[in-house]
Amino acid sequence: MADPEDTDKPEVLPKKFVPPQPVQLGGESLLDRILPHIKKIAIATIILAVVISAFFGFKACQRNKQAKGTEKVAAVLDVAQKPVLPPGMPPDPKIPAFASDKEKAEKVLEEMAKQDTEATGPAFRASMLIDAGKLDEAISVYRTCDSGTDIENVLCREGLGIALETKAVGEKDSAARQKLLEESLDAFLRMQPTEDGPRRAYALYHQGRINLLLGKRAEAKTLLEKVKGMSPPKELADLVDRRLAGIGSGGAG
């Protein structure tokens, strides 16, 4: 029989079991932070991928064009580097060579047209036109590049002077010849005005030659002596010595 005092005590029920809750340190997790912005991140990632693909695609296209351009120039230079046979030497089937400078220039121009390239530069093309006997065409090409200070511009002015001089030598009319020689001299005066610029000595040498052709012997001698005092390359020094010797002996040199 139960103790009467026990019946007055409230019944004690077992406590409900509550599993332990994980404790998150440092606030929100990285995933919690990213989830609200996942759509924006996905769009930005796609845009970045497109930009990167376009960039590398553009670079690949550029490299492809450069490679093709290099191949074209190489084909032209392959023809241009073949030698010209010395006068009187019979051709040798084992050694590819041209019979004359004119033949070589014509073949180079043909290859340039075939490759459809001007990458060798206008000065090179115009020099081939001179060797091919196409003086008027050469003069026109040289005039397209005779302004500026780059070495290409210097070579264009030098080539223009030579082309005009060559045309003058073949001119029968004395007035026309005089005019062409004066134009040639002007090209050489503009060729390299800077005292320490490239090919300055050659510019003065050309001026001396044209002054001789114009009958200005004193001016020619002064210019040639100036070149000699510049300690030019041996090849140019020998040319200057021959011109000065010609002036001393009364010839045109």
In angstroms, what CA-CA distances link 162 with 19, 157, 170?
102, 9, 13
The β-bridge partners of 98 are 84
CB 131 within 8 A of CB 104: yes
Rounded CA separation 250/86 (Å) = 32
Q: Residue 14: what pLDDT?
A: 53
What is residue 90's predicted lDDT score, i.e. its pLDDT? 82
pLDDT at 67: 47
Structure confidence at residue 91 (pLDDT): 78
Residues of the chain with pLDDT under 70: 1-69, 118-119, 249-253
In whole angstroms, what is the distance from residue 115 CA to residue 75 CA?
A: 8
Say what the pTM is. Answer: 0.69
Domain boundaries of the chain, sorted by first residue: 93-172, 192-253
Tokens at 138, concatenated: 């050469």
